[in-house]
Amino acid sequence: MAGIDYSQKIPNNVDLKSDKRLQRALERWQPDYIEWWKEMGPTDFNEKDVYLRTAVSVEKDGWANFSYVSMPEYRWGIFLTPHEKDPLIQFGDHMGQEAWQQVPGEYRNWLRRLIVTQGDTEPASVEQQRLLGHTAPSLYDMRNLFQVNVEEGRHLWAMVYLLHRHFGADGREEADQMLQRRSGNPDHPRILSTFNEPIEEWLSFFCFTMFTDRDGKFQLLSLAESGFDPLARTTRFMLTEEAHHMFVGQTGLQRIVRRTLEVMKEFPDADPAEKGAFPLELIQRYINFWASSCYDLFGAEVSSNSANFFASGLKGRAYEDKFEDHTALNQFKAVERFVDGKVVTEDVPLRNAMNEVLREAYIADNQKGVDSWNKECEKAGVPFRFYLPHHRFNRQVGEFAGLRFHVKTGEPMGEAAYQAMLEETMPTAKDRSHVKSLMVGVREPGKFAGWIAPPLRGINGQPVEMEYVKL
Ligand SMILES: [Fe+2]
Ligand SMILES: [Fe+2]
């Protein structure tokens, strides 16, 4: 496996120069990508130098190099985690056979769909976040936003490489369409609905990187098991970048909570909103909105697609090697269904319940973040505790779509009681205008907006007060 070749127009460790046709096709796509970035990325900051990390190696340790670059000059490239020797398919009907290096003909359409759906989310999130630089609560946070943005751009490259390399003319067509759809555009929307929600303020940005990027983590974990080896290797490298995105979300929310608790201590009789902070209940309402919207991203509880993807060896479970059996045959999972106004459980073949298996793992992972925010409350001696919305609450996809359930207990509810509960548990118009009213950019190095505490340390061992973006 070659190291990363930065002498090429497109940095890569896939020996791109030995495949001239592919290289030319990707070099033709590259200017369109840059055009898209200049139009739909963080446009107003394209000229500024940002302290960013770039991949210099695909090895586990020390893969990142930090330096000041302007974003359009970022070296987006194609990086695959190195080969194990002759990898085998780890699960499903083809378990034990050699992993595919070429697209298996019978699964071509499914595979293309998986890659396109994943790929589409990457530019979507850049579009959703494109104006946030203006209201960054600090240079540290602005830099983190841009780091996330350039890496989502690189994730698009990762998927576009697979499309160009393995799917011929229709792969190239799909790659072009990645740059044509637009988040929130009614005529050409992004594929998944969460990726069409605007992100106009930083509380939503931190919720997005906490909850939506974590959905990304679990999708990538399950694709990292794929029997289609190039997909497994490219998603493995994406996971190393993804970890930072969730760090941004989890610690961002934690710093917001910490700041609110400080304000509550200083002004015990005041509403924290009046003192320029976000009340804990308001933060909870944002959590309810974003987490429940992300539950939908895993798809229906019972799904023949999920069975097909698993059986074919294209998409496994997160950490497949932790399971004892990898065929998922003759096994059942108790899945909840809603019948005659009641929640009942029903045993369904495990392969059909793979979406639910992944969603459960995702929810358990989210809980760690919630626990860290509750620690802040505990330390401050404040009885408030955050929670994750129930998996049946506010669902638009699957068994519970459009039905009414309690946000905490998941009990079925009547319409009137449900609507009354929403007032308390989902962001209100007043919440949104309060959040927006506090979005004023802070650009002095080491200074932070009044609604968020500084981080405990800076990026890459640098001081918190470093000039992370040179404006
Ligand atoms: Fe991504
Ligand atoms: Fe991400």
- Please name which ligand lies nearest the alpha carbon of 148: 2
- Please name which ligand lies nearest the alpha carbon of 124: 1
Taking a C-beta distance cutoff of 8 angstroms, is the pair 82, 58 a contact?
Answer: yes
3 pLDDT exceeds 80? no
Taking a C-beta distance cutoff of 8 angstroms, is the pair 103, 166 a contact?
Answer: yes
Give me ligand 2 centre to Cα 208, in Å: 9
**What is the predicted pLDDT for the residue at 308?**
97
DSSP readout, 51-113? EEEEE---SSSS-EEEEEEEGGGS---B--PPPPSS-B--SSTTTTSBPBSS--GGGHHHHHH
Structure confidence at residue 56 as a pLDDT band (50, 70, 90): confident
Question: Quick one: average pLDDT of 237-243?
Answer: 93
Spatial CA neighbour of 13 closest among 109, 78, 103: 78
Give me ligand 1 centre to Cα 337, in Å: 32
Give me ligand 2 centre to Cα 236, in Å: 13
61 pLDDT exceeds 70? no
Give me ligand 2 centre to Cα 111, in Å: 21
Element containing residue 49 per DSSP (H, E): strand 49-55
Question: Quick one: average pLDDT of 185-201?
Answer: 93
**What is the predicted pLDDT for the residue at 239?**
94
- Please name which ligand lies nearest the alpha carbon of 246: 2
Give me ligand 2 centre to Cα 28, in Å: 26
Torsion angle, CA of 247/248/250/251, rounded to 10 degrees? Answer: 100
Give me ligand 2 centre to Cα 448, in Å: 24
**What is the predicted pLDDT for the residue at 6?**
83
- Please name which ligand lies nearest the alpha carbon of 129: 2
Question: Quick one: average pLDDT of 170-196?
Answer: 96
Topology of domain 16-470, per CATH? Ribonucleotide Reductase, subunit A (1.10.620)
Q: Which residue has the higher pLDDT, 357 or 57?
A: 357
Give me ligand 1 centre to Cα 249, in Å: 14
Give me ligand 2 centre to Cα 147, in Å: 10
- Please name which ligand lies nearest the alpha carbon of 208: 2
8-state DSSP, 228: B
- Please name which ligand lies nearest the alpha carbon of 155: 1
Question: Quick one: average pLDDT of 331-343?
Answer: 94
168 pLDDT exceeds 60? yes
pLDDT-wise least confident of 248-252, 310-314, 339-343, 441-445: 339-343
**What is the predicted pLDDT for the residue at 84?**
74
Residue 324 Cα distances to 90, 320, 321, 327, angstroms: 12, 9, 7, 10
Region at 4 (left for phi over 0; alpha for psi -120 to 50; beta for the rest)? beta
Give me ligand 1 centre to Cα 420, in Å: 37
DSSP readout, 305-339? HHHHHHHTTSS--TTGGGSS-SS--S-EEEEEEEE
Tens-digit pLDDT profile for residues 268-315:
999 999 999 999 999 999 999 999 999 999 999 999 999 999 999 999
Give me ligand 1 centre to Cα 152, in Å: 4
1 pLDDT exceeds 60? no
0.85 surpassed by pTM:
yes
- Please name which ligand lies nearest the alpha carbon of 123: 1
Give me ligand 2 centre to Cα 386, in Å: 24
**Would you say the C-alpha torsion 140, 143, 149, 155 has a positive or negative sign?**
negative
Give me ligand 1 centre to Cα 54, in Å: 15
202 pLDDT exceeds 90? yes
pLDDT-wise least confident of 195-199, 220-224, 350-354: 195-199
Tokens of 134: 């203006």
Give me ligand 1 centre to Cα 18, in Å: 28
**What is the predicted pLDDT for the residue at 97?**
97
Give me ligand 2 centre to Cα 216, in Å: 6
Give me ligand 2 centre to Cα 65, in Å: 19
342 pLDDT exceeds 50? yes
155 pLDDT exceeds 90? yes
Give me ligand 2 centre to Cα 90, in Å: 26
- With a pLDDT cut of 90, the percent of the chain lying above it is 92
- Please name which ligand lies nearest the alpha carbon of 247: 2
- Please name which ligand lies nearest the alpha carbon of 152: 1
Q: Where are the domains of the chain?
A: 16-470
Give me ligand 1 centre to Cα 121, in Å: 7
Please give the sequence-ordered ranges of beta strands (E in DSSP) within 93-203, or none if there are none.
none
Give me ligand 2 centre to Cα 433, in Å: 27
Give me ligand 1 centre to Cα 99, in Å: 24
Structure confidence at residue 2 as a pLDDT band (50, 70, 90): low
Tens-digit pLDDT profile for residues 435-444:
999 999 999 9
Give me ligand 1 centre to Cα 114, in Å: 14
From the number of C-beta atoms within 10 Å of its C-beta (0-12, 13-18, 19+), residue 269 rates as exposed
| Calpha distance 26→210 (Å, rounded) | 32
